């Protein structure tokens, strides 16, 4: 496996693939099974697999966890190699944003909803770094987890709007045995917070069961999910939302594919999760 530190070295690696499809998994590192599932999918799809590891400062607010975001490159390297990744691009901040850098990218409407309300500027940082990475790596396919559903929709919209010849491949949420969605930020949880955080998946399961039983009133679903999470003393709710899965706009009745999305604090950790209701 090759370790690439510069933009020029990535472009040389891509040229050396001699026409093999390039399959790309952008990450911020500190891998878990969710990340590895994306890499396995990219490998199974038959391309040359390249992963990026870059903790992007543009997507962190002034009071967020940029400095303490978990990092362990050697662990990540071994895990990526074990699932067949062929190259890792791990640039410095200076390589990605050299002196004089001025440009940011905004996907307007989708960035202003859900997490965008409580994390102003976050999705501008995401869109900017992803567009840069797409231009550097020039992948045929790029793989994103559905846990970060709003991010996925923003990247799909960005790719469409900018006429990028890249297929965005959504991949399912990977969960722990008790249902907690895997996240690099789970390491912030104390044992008590970790146990309490299982309420997120239980509340989503409840919404899925209500939907399967015929419930189509968005307010009743939202209220039920909110009440279950609020009953957990260690949970501090940022939002619970029931929205159109395409536009992320609030709805009154479930008549199209619908997303139940939530963001909840447990101590210092802000966890997100979601489920799709469709069919």
Which sequence positions are flagged as catalytic? Answer: 35
Whole-number CA gyration radius for the chain: 19
Distances in Å between the Cα of 116 and the Cα atoms of 119, 154, 252 are 5, 11, 21
- Residue 241 to residue 273: CA distance in whole angstroms: 11
Q: How far is CA 213 from the centre of its chain?
A: 30
H-assigned helices in the chain: 7-16, 33-44, 73-82, 93-96, 108-111, 115-118, 122-137, 149-161, 191-196, 199-212, 218-230
In sequence order, the β-bridge partners of residue 277 are 258
Q: How many residues does the chain have?
A: 279
Contacts of 235 (CB under 8 A, 6+ apart): 196, 197, 199, 229, 264, 265, 266
């Amino acid at each position: 496996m090759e370790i690439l530190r510069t933009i020029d070295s990535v472009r040389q690696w891509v040229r050396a693939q001699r026409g093999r499809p390039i399959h790309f998994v952008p990450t911020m590192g500190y891998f878990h099974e969710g990340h590895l599932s994306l890499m396995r999918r990219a490998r199974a799809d038959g391309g040359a697999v390249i992963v990026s590891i870059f903790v992007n400062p543009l997507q962190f607010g002034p009071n967020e966890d940029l400095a303490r975001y978990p990092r362990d490159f050697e662990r990540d390297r071994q895990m990526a190699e074990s699932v067949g990744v062929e190259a890792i691009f791990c640039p410095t901040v200076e390589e990605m944003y050299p002196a004089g850098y001025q440009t940011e990218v905004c996907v307007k409407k989708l960035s202003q909803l859900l997490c965008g309300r409580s994390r102003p500027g976050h999705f501008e940082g995401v869109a900017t770094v992803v567009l840069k990475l797409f231009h550097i790596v020039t992948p045929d396919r790029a793989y994103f987890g559905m846990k970060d559903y709003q991010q996925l929709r923003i990247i799909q919209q960005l790719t469409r709007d900018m006429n990028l010849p890249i297929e965005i491949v959504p991949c399912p949420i990977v969960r722990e045995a008790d249902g907690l969605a895997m996240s690099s930020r789970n390491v912030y949880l104390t044992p008590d917070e970790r146990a309490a955080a299982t309420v997120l998946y239980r509340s989503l399961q409840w919404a899925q069961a209500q939907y399967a039983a015929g419930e189509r009133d968005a307010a009743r679903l939202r209220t039920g999910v909110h009440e279950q999470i609020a009953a957990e003393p260690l949970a501090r709710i940022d939002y619970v939302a029931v929205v159109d899965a395409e536009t992320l706009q609030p709805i009154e009745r479930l008549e199209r594919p619908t997303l139940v999305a939530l963001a909840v604090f447990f101590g210092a950790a802000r966890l997100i999760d979601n489920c799709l209701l469709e069919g």
